[in-house]
Amino acid sequence: MNITLSIDEQIVERAREKLRATGKSINQEVREHLAMLAGDDDVELDIEEFKRLSGQGNSNGLKFNRDELYERR
C-alpha cells in the first residue's frame, strides 16, 4: 500500500542526514517504525540492523573498569 504524508521539509532533511549514517532511507525507516508499532516484530530485520550497527561505537580510547563504575554510584 502506498500512502502520502505531509511532513515539514526541514524535518525531512534532518531525518535524511541522520539516516544516511545508518544507510536507511526515510521510506525504510517509516515502514519499519509502522511495522514495530503494529507489533510485527521481524527478528531477521533486527538481526540485520544489529549486524549493520555493530562495531560503530567509539570510546575514544577510554577503557572501562566494571568495579570503578560501580564505585561511582
- 71 domain residue, yes or no: no
pLDDT reported for residue 38: 87
- 13 domain residue, yes or no: yes
Across the chain, mean pLDDT equals 86
Query: Could you give the CA distance from residue 19 to residue 9 in angstroms, rounded to a whole number?
Result: 15
What's the domain count of the chain? 1
* pTM given for the model: 0.52
63: left (phi over 0), alpha (psi -120 to 50) or beta: beta
Question: Is there a contact between 15 and 29 (Cβ–Cβ < 8 Å)?
Answer: yes
- 21 domain residue, yes or no: yes
- 64 domain residue, yes or no: no
Q: What is the dihedral sign for C-alpha 8, 9, 15, 16?
A: positive
Q: Provide the domain limits for residue 29.
A: 1-51
Question: Is there a contact between 41 and 33 (Cβ–Cβ < 8 Å)?
Answer: no
pLDDT reported for residue 30: 93
pLDDT (tens digit per residue) in 9-35: 999 999 999 999 889 999 999 998 888
